[in-house]
Amino acid sequence: MKRILLTGGAGFIGSTLAEKLLSKGNYVTVIDNFSDFYDPYIKEKNIIPLLKFSNFKLHRFDIIDKEALFQNIDKHDVIVHIAAKAGVRPSILDPIGYEEVNVKGTINLLEFAKHHGIKQFVFASSSSVYGTNPNVPWVENSQIDHIISPYAGTKRSAEIQGKIYSHLHDIRFIALRLFTVFGPKQRPDLAIHKFTKLILRDKPITLYGKGNTIRDYTYVDDIVNAFINAINFTKSDFEIINIGNNKPISLIELVKLLENTFDRKPKIIFEKEQPGDVPKTYADINKAKKLLGYEPQTSIKDGLEKFKKWVLENQEIIYEK
C-alpha cells in the first residue's frame, strides 16, 4: 500500500486511475481544480465513486498555486502528475495558459517532491511530442524536432524538467507518452465522445483532413495499468515510455466502427486539416513491454462497446450537456 498524490484525479484518466488505486488499498490524495475546459459537472460525477473509499482525500485547488500546494499537502510516497491543460487545438489560442499550467505547474510539483524527499514521480506526457515525424512506429528515441503545437511543446518541456530534477535531486521520473486515450468518461472534446454525441443527436460530424488522419487509440484501462506499473517501477531513475496500442486506424475507419457500435449512420462533413493536428500517431511499445510488462488488452472494437455501455448509463452527459 502506498500514499499517492494524484493531480488531475477528477478528469477522465485520473479518476479511472484513482478508482483502481483505491480499490487496491492505496491511500490517494487528489488535487484538481475542476477546470471549466469541459463541463465540471462531468468531473463531479467522476469523483462520486471515489468518495466511498475512506483512504481517499480531495483537494480543490490549482497546481500553479504553489502556496496552496505546500500548505495543504504533506509527504506522499509517489506523485502521479496527470493534471494539465489538455488538447492541441485550444493550446494554439492560449499558449501562455498552457505553459503556466503544464510547465510551471509541473515544476511546482517537482519542487514539492524535492522539498519532501518524494522519490517517485510519474508524469502523463503525450504522443504529440513526436509531432510530424514521418518515421513510424515512433520509438522513444525518435526525432522530436517536429513539434507543431504549444500543447506538445509544454509536454516536452515538462519531460525536460523531469530530467533535470531527476539528475539534481535524485527523483525517479517516469514520463508516459500516452497515445489517444478512449473509453468510459472520455473527454468530450476528443473524437470518439464528440462524434458519438453528434451521431446520437442526428447531427453532422466534421472530419478534418479527408478522414485520413491516423491515431493509435488506446483503451483507458490499459493506460491505467501502465501507470500502476510505473508507480512501482524502480529499475532506473529516468525513463520516457510510449503507452499506445500499436494498432493505429484512420479517422474514417473509426467513424465506421462508431456506426457499427451505435447502429446509426453518421452524416459527414469534410473540412481541411486543422493547424496543430499531426497526420498520424503510431506507438512502438516494446520499451513499455520490457520495462513495465505492458500488454494492451482491449481492442478498439471492444473498447467502443464499453464506451457505449457508459454512454447508455450516462445519457444526460450525451443528450443534455
Amino acid residing at 86: A
What's the 3-state SS for 19-62? Answer: HHHHHCCCEEEEECCCCCCCCHHHHHHHHHHHCCCCCEEEECCC
In this structure, what are the phi and psi dihedrals at residue 189, rounded to the nearest 5 degrees? -85, -10
Rule CB under 6 A: say whether 147 interacts with ligand NAD: no
The burial of 76, by beta-carbon neighbours within 10 Å (0-12 exposed, 13-18 middle, 19 or more buried), is given as buried
CB of 180 to ligand NAD, least distance (A): 5
Among 5, 6, 11, 226, binds ligand NAD (CB under 6 A): 11
Taking 3-state DSSP, the helix, strand and coil percentages for the chain, each rounded to the nearest 5, stand at: 45, 20, 35
Nearer to ligand NAD, 84 or 110 (CB): 84
Nearer to ligand NAD, 110 or 269 (CB): 110
By CB under 6 A, tell whether 180 contacts ligand NAD: yes
Rule CB under 6 A: say whether 63 interacts with ligand NAD.
yes
CB of 65 to ligand NAD, least distance (A): 8
- Residue 105 as a binder of ligand NAD (CB under 6 A): the answer is yes
151 is catalytic: yes
CB of 194 to ligand NAD, least distance (A): 12
CB-based contacts of 280, cutoff 8 Å, min separation 6 = 136, 213, 214, 215, 248
Angle at 204 between CA 200 and CA 210, to 5 degrees: 125
| Closest-CA residue to 40 (of 169, 187, 183) | 187
Q: Which is nearer to ligand NAD, 67 or 263 (CB)?
A: 67
Using the contact rule CB under 6 A, the part of the chain among 4-12, 89-97, 232-240, 256-264 near ligand NAD is 4-12
Residues contributing to the site for ligand NAD (CB under 6 A): 7-8, 10-14, 31-35, 37, 43, 62-64, 82-86, 101, 105, 124, 126, 178, 180-181, 187
- Residues acting as catalytic residues: 151
